[in-house]
């Protein structure tokens, strides 16, 4: 079976690095690209055709919610939101769910969550694996 392909979208280079490292740590997942904003992400979706998109909400050029509006018309990729504004019950989380997000993971310490891998790394991998139909990851 082919590895599920993943596109990562976050305007922060640091967050793209941290989340990218989390994804690459699982040998059954394939990170195929990373975009710094929604406009770039939509172009990358056309060419890369990822199975899963990891998407921030607050970004320049085009928000993650705007990306989701366009994405549903051009791709079957499943969307997992990883954002500081997508706390449980927030308007952004509610809208992301309404637009089809399969999972929502809140960054634990705001926009620059340097502790993301430690606090949410397992949750991110588990969400990706669920979206891809893979068995859950083994707890470290």
In the sheet where 78-83 sits, what is the strand order? Answer: 30-35, 5-9, 52-55, 78-83, 103-106
Task: Establish if 9 belongs to a structural domain.
Answer: yes
Question: Would you say residue 56 lies in a domain?
Answer: yes
Q: Is residue 138 in a domain?
A: no
Q: What pTM, to 2 d.p., does this model score?
A: 0.94
Which pLDDT score, from 0 to 100, does residue 1 have?
Answer: 63
At 24-59, the pLDDT tens digits run: 999 999 999 999 999 999 999 999 999 999 999 999
Residue 73 in domain: yes
The residue range of the domain holding 70 is 5-132
The enclosing domain of 68 has a CATH number of: 3.40.50.2300
Say how far apart CA 129 and CA 123 lie, in whole Å: 10
Structure token pair of residue 67:
């990306």
- Please give the tally of structural domains in the chain: 1
């Amino acid at each position: 079976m082919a590895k599920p392909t993943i596109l990562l979208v976050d305007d922060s280079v640091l967050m793209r690095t941290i989340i990218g490292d989390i994804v690459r740590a699982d040998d059954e997942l394939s990170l195929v690209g990373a975009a710094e904003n929604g406009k770039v992400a939509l172009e990358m979706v056309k060419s890369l055709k990822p199975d899963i998109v990891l998407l921030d909400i607050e970004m320049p050029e085009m928000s993650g919610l705007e990306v989701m509006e366009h994405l549903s018309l051009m791709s079957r990729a499943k969307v997992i939101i990883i954002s500081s504004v997508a706390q449980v019950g927030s308007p952004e989380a509610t809208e992301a769910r309404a637009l089809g997000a399969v999972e929502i993971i809140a960054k634990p310490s705001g926009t620059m969550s340097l502790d993301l891998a430690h606090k949410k790394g397992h949750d991110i991998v588990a969400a990706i694996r669920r979206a891809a139909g893979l068995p859950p990851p083994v707890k470290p």
